[in-house]
Structure 1
Amino acid sequence: MDVHLRELRYFVAVAEELNFTRAAGDRLFVSQPTLSKQIRQLERDLRVTLFDRDPRGITLTPAGVALLPLARQILQSWSGARRAVTEAASAQTLTVGFQTRIGRGLIPSVTARMEQRLPGWRLLFRQVTWADPTAGLATGEVDVAVVWLPLPAGDKLAWNVVAREERWVALPAAHRLAHRSVIPFDELVHEPFIALPASAGVLRDYWLATDQRTTPPRVAAEVTTADETFEAVSSGLGVVLVSAGNAEIYQRADVVCRPVSGLSPSELAVAWRRDDHREAVRVFTEACVRCLCTLPVT
C-alpha cells in the first residue's frame, strides 16, 4: 500500500517533538487520536515499529531513525515540486481557504482588486472543514484564508480582523424561544448545543461561549461543516451560535435565527502564514481589509 504525504508529515512532527500531544496541537492542529491513528497506519504500511512507547515517553526505533531524514527529504522535494509547478503555470493561482460561505460582497471586490494590481493571477477557493480551524493554512493546503477567530496559539500565522458581527443563535423553527426578538445567553446555557469537532480547539470553545458559562455545555452533536450544522439544528438536535452575517447567508424555512445578548461580537479575519511574503498574498489581504472593514461594527 502506498504511503501518503500526510502520514510522513505527521511522522516528522512526532519524531521532532517526541510528544504526540505537542505534535498534534502545536504543529498539526489535529486531535491526538487522529494523529495516533495515522502513525499506526504508517507503521502498518511499512510493516515496522517507528516509535517505542512507554509511560515515560516515546523514542524513535532504529527504523524510525532511518526513516526521519528520508521523510524530511521527500516532504522537501514535494514542496519544491509544488513551487516549480506553480511558477511554471502561465496563470498564477492564489488558493483561498474558507469554512463558511464568504458572502458579504467580498469576492467581487477582491477579484477586481487582484485583476487591477496583479493581471494574470486568479483565485481558487477551497472549502475546509471545521476539523482544521486554520482553514488549510497550517497544512499548506491554501495560501490565504478567510476565517473566524480565534485561531490556534502560535507565531506561524498572521491575520487582520476585517469585520465584527453580533453572535446570534440558530434554533429549530418550533423551538420555545423562536418567537423572541432577542434572546439573553443566560436563557440558552442549558440548551443542547451543536459543537465543532474537538480538533477545532479554541474555536470550538468560542462558538460554545464557554467563557460565559459556569458549567460545561451540553453537546448534542459535533459537525464539520456549516451545512451539517444547520441540518442538525433543523432536525431538533440542538441550537448553535452563528455570526449575524451567516444567519442571513444560511437562511432556511426550518431554522430561526435570533440575536443573542450578553456575548461579545464575533470576528471575521483574513489570515496568512507569516513567512509568506509574496505580493499576491499582500494584495489579497489588503483587498479584504479594504472591502470588509467599511462594514459597520454590530
Structure 2
Amino acid sequence: MAEELHFTRAAERLYVSQPALSQQIRALERQLGAPLFTRGGGDVRLTPVGTALPPHARRVLAGWDAGRSAVAAALAEQRATLVIGMSTGPGRGGLRLRQVGWDDPTAGLADGSSDLAYVWLPLPEPARYGWLVVAEEQRFVALPDEPFLALPGDAGALREHWLAPEARGGRPARIGAVVSGPDETYEALVDGRGVVLLAEGNAPLLARDGVAVRPVDGLSPSRPAPAWRADDTRPLVRRYAEARRRVTAPRIA
C-alpha cells in the first residue's frame, strides 16, 4: 500500500479485496496507535508514521523470506537421497545397492549417475575423486585355464590391476574373454575361457560348481574404497564421507 498509494491497486497486487485490505490497515493503525495514511479528495498520502514504517517492514519481510528459504533447504537436505554405485558384487555384506558394470570403474561417479560409489582402486583420472581405503585384500585367482579374463578396455587402470602386469616379467597377458560382471565371469570360467584374478572377499561369488579359487603370493593387495567426486561439496555427501572415515579409521590404523 505504501508503494501504490491506491487502495484498489494495492488490493489487486496483494490478491485480496479492497474492504479486507482496508480492515487490515485500520487494525495495524490501532496496534501502532497512529494513522499511516491520510485520505481526502481522492488522494492517499503517507503520514510521518507511514513514511517511517516501510523500511523496517521490508527488513522483516526479507528476514522472513530468508528464514523460509533456510527451512526449505534444510527440509530438502533431510529428504535427499544419495545414489551409491557399486562395481563389486552385490552379495558382499548384505548390501543392496545400484550395480554398475565393470566397464565403468567409477561406478557412476564419472557421469554423475551416482553420488558416492564403492569402487576398486585405482580410479581413472584420480584427481577428480576423493576416496577412503576401507580394507586391503589379497588377490586370488579363479581357475581353470591359463588365458585370462579381462575387464572391458574402458576400465583402464583397473583392467591392468586385475591382469597384474607387474608380476608377468614383461610378458603380456593372454586374454581369453572380456567380462563386465560376476555372472559373465562365472560363465566364462566354467566354459574354460580363462582364469581371473579377484579380491579375497569376492571369492565366494565364483567358488561354486567346480570353480576353484586360490590365493596368489607376490601381488599387491586389492583395495576397495568408497569414493566421491572431489568437487562435490553437498553437505549430505560430505557427512557420509566423514562418517565412513570415522567408522573405518580404527579398523585400518
Taking structure 2 as the reference length, the TM-score comes to 0.63
Given candidates 239, 243, 252, the residue that maps to 2:195 is 239
Amino acid at match of 1:136: G
Q: What is the correspondence of 1:278-297 to structure 2 with a 5 Å cutoff?
A: 278-291=234-247
Q: For structure 1, which runs of at least 5 residues remain unmatched after alignment?
A: 1-86, 108-123, 176-190
> In the TM superposition, what is the alpha-carbon distance from 1:221 to its structure 2 partner?
0.4
Determine which structure has greater relative contact order: mean sequence separation of CA pairs < 8 Å that are 6+ residues apart, divided by chain length: 1
Aligned residue pairs: how many? 178
Asked if 1:156 is matched to 2:128, the reply is yes
Asked if 1:166 is matched to 2:166, the reply is no
Match of 2:224 in 1: 268
Percent identity of equivalent pairs = 51
**CA, structure 1 residues 256+222, in 2 after alignment: closer, same or farther (shift >3 Å)?**
same
Q: Distance in 2 between matches of 1:171 and 1:296?
A: 31
Given candidates 69, 92, 115, the residue that maps to 1:143 is 115
Given candidates 169, 193, 206, the residue that maps to 2:161 is 206
Q: Distance in 2 between matches of 1:293 and 1:219?
A: 38
Helix, strand or coil for the counterpart of 1:169?
Answer: strand
Match of 1:229 in 2: 185
Given candidates 211, 223, 226, the residue that maps to 1:255 is 211
Q: Distance in 1 between matches of 2:186 and 2:249?
A: 27
Q: What is the correspondence of 1:184-203 to structure 2 with a 5 Å cutoff?
A: 191-203=146-158
Residues 158-180 of structure 1: per-residue CA shift (max 9 Å, x gap): 111111000000113xx6xxxxx
Amino acid at match of 2:124: P
> In the TM superposition, what is the alpha-carbon distance from 1:241 to its structure 2 partner?
0.2
Q: Distance in 1 between matches of 2:205 and 2:220?
A: 21
Q: Which has the larger radius of gyration?
A: 2
Residue 130 of structure 2 contacts residue 229 of structure 2 at CA under 8 Å; is this kept in 1?
A: yes
Match of 1:93 in 2: 81
**CA, structure 1 residues 201+277, in 2 after alignment: closer, same or farther (shift >3 Å)?**
same
Given candidates 126, 130, 134, the residue that maps to 2:98 is 126
Residue 161 of structure 1 contacts residue 289 of structure 1 at CA under 8 Å; is this kept in 2?
A: no
Q: Considering fraction of residues, name the structure with more strand.
A: 1
Q: Distance in 1 between matches of 2:149 and 2:109?
A: 25
Root-mean-square deviation (CA), in Å? 2.5
Helix, strand or coil for the counterpart of 1:135?
Answer: coil
> In the TM superposition, what is the alpha-carbon distance from 1:264 to its structure 2 partner?
0.9
Match of 1:27 in 2: none
> In the TM superposition, what is the alpha-carbon distance from 1:290 to its structure 2 partner?
4.5
Residue 134 of structure 1 contacts residue 147 of structure 1 at CA under 8 Å; is this kept in 2?
A: yes
Q: Distance in 1 between matches of 2:118 and 2:185?
A: 19
Residue 137 of structure 1 contacts residue 144 of structure 1 at CA under 8 Å; is this kept in 2?
A: yes
Q: For structure 2, which runs of at least 5 residues remain unmatched after alignment?
A: 1-74
Taking structure 1 as the reference length, the TM-score comes to 0.54
